[in-house]
Amino acid sequence: MAELLQKVRVIDPVSEIDELSDVLIADGYIREVASHISNINSDTQIRDCQGLVLGPGLVDLYSHSGEPGFEERETLLSFLQAAAAGGFTRVSILPDTSPVIDNPALVAQLQKRREGQEGQGDKGTRGQGGNFSPLSSRLPLLHIWGAITVDIAGKQMTELADLASAGIVGFTDGKPLENLALVQRVLEYLQPLGKPVAFWPSDRQLTANGVMREGTDALRFGLPPIPASAETTAIAAMLELVAAIGTPVHIMRVSTARGVELIASAKAAGLPITASTTWMHLLLDTKAVKSYHTSLHLDPPLGNPSDMAALRAGIRAGVIDAIAIDHTPYSYEEKVQAFAEAPAGAIGLELALPVLWQYLVETEEFTALELWRALSSNPAECLRQKVSAIVPHQPAELTLFDPQQTWKVERKSLHTLSQNTPWLGQQLKGHVVQTWC
């Protein structure tokens, strides 16, 4: 069936467009984009989209799936449904499952599970009052990161060439790799394979038992501190290796102002790097930890106010290329502990776009194009992919978003199986209406 979206606000970072248009979609493709479309078939569904936003489907660089091994936190199906509900049409899972994704057989098994769940994306999304509205009849495209080291032990490399041939999106452990000699060999071996490689620079000796960014708030709240140097010294070492070897690298989870400075200098020098931060590091800083809400225990930790400001400026300037969700589900029992004892991480696939829009776009700190670019075309480029412009004859990989619709974050309004978020129980403004995958 064809659909005509009338007077929708088209935000297209590929074409640098932010304007009202009519958009005709049929058979999985964009058929026409114009200021007014009137020549349509009688069976075309006409939708009044005034006040709604249409953009390319969102792309998540890295998140955690509970399955296999931790299905009580998240199944692959609930993960993909949550992603679709949040506007994501492509998602990438980290290899720290159980077993670890370190061999081609497990990659094939996960992709087979994904294919077997096709058509189950039409669970819908709850609007106001708990009523379901159409979401998507298809699930997002699943990308799988292959582990760099066997069982993520950090000592022995996986069979990198075999994993590359298995169809992984790239290589990462999703955890710090502190053996720099091993990192050097990895960069040398990966150069001819043509796959992205992502590292999370963090010196675990400097991190020690810390749970919060070092500063006055950490002293005030009585929590063990983590110095910014735990990140920045590791970034500096990584940049030196990239400069020496030349293999392109993606730097994950940047969380400090000094980290942004180091990356800006490296890019200015022509190093082949990209970088990302997570959505929560753009929204909250150490002052939020006053509540001791365990969903604010993140790794890397929330930054000081100056860190958050630098990360926002870094996104706008293009120093930080992309916003990752780093969706990290945990069960209620795992998170109901003292702040320092609870595992680090929070969910985010269904919350990121509404909250980022509300706090960055509605406040006019970011333009809509800047935010959408950091959540769609830029993450795709970090994965050496492209997203299509919203123009005729292109596939309809799209997200329709209502920035004014309010909803309450609660168990019945979430598709993810976990609830570890500081926004639980709160009213949010902004809701994904539909995705085309």
Work out the pLDDT band at 1, boundaries 50, 70, 90.
confident
- Rounded CA-CA distance 346/145 in Å is 20
CA-closest candidate to residue 418, choices 348, 369, 368:
348
Query: What are the structural domains of the chain?
Result: 58-388+406-422 (3.20.20.140)
CA distances from 382 to 94, 120, 263 (A): 15, 29, 15
- Are 127 and 173 in contact by the 8 Å Cβ rule? The answer is no
Handedness of CA 377, 435, 80, 130 (dihedral sign): positive
* Among the ranges given (6-10, 121-125, 197-201), the one the predictor scored with the smallest mean pLDDT: 121-125
Tens of pLDDT, residues 17-66? 999 999 999 999 999 999 999 988 889 999 999 999 999 999 999 999 99
Percent of the chain with pLDDT over 70: 95
Q: What is the dihedral of CA 331, 337, 343, 344, to 10 degrees?
A: 100
Tens of pLDDT, residues 307-321? 999 999 999 999 999
CA-closest candidate to residue 51, choices 429, 409, 435, 437:
429
| Helix residue ranges per DSSP H, 37-165 | 76-85, 104-116, 160-165
CA-closest candidate to residue 213, choices 229, 235, 200:
229
The predicted pLDDT at position 137 comes to 53
The predicted pLDDT at position 136 comes to 54
Q: Known catalytic residue: 326?
A: yes
Mean pLDDT, range 223-236, rounded to an integer? 98
pLDDT at 129 over 70: no
* Among the ranges given (70-84, 139-153, 283-297, 369-383), the one the predictor scored with the smallest mean pLDDT: 139-153
- Residue 65 structure tokens: 């799936």
φ/ψ of 371, rounded to 5, equals -65, -45
3-state secondary structure of 352: helix
CA-closest candidate to residue 62, choices 432, 272, 322:
322
The predicted pLDDT at position 132 comes to 31
pLDDT at 119 over 80: no
- Rounded CA-CA distance 160/169 in Å is 12
Mean pLDDT, range 326-330, rounded to an integer? 98
Mean pLDDT, range 167-178, rounded to an integer? 95
pLDDT at 145 over 60: yes
Work out the pLDDT band at 138, boundaries 50, 70, 90.
confident
The predicted pLDDT at position 99 comes to 94
pLDDT at 335 over 70: yes
- Rounded CA-CA distance 356/277 in Å is 13
The predicted pLDDT at position 121 comes to 60
Contacts of 318 (CB under 8 A, 6+ apart): none
pLDDT at 231 over 50: yes
- Rounded CA-CA distance 234/240 in Å is 10
CA distances from 319 to 212, 275, 363, 378, 434 (A): 25, 7, 22, 11, 31
Catalytic residue, chosen from 96, 173, 307, 326, is 326
Percent of the chain with pLDDT over 90: 91
Mean pLDDT, range 224-242, rounded to an integer? 98
The predicted pLDDT at position 152 comes to 65
How many other CB atoms are found less than 10 A from the CB of residue 403?
18
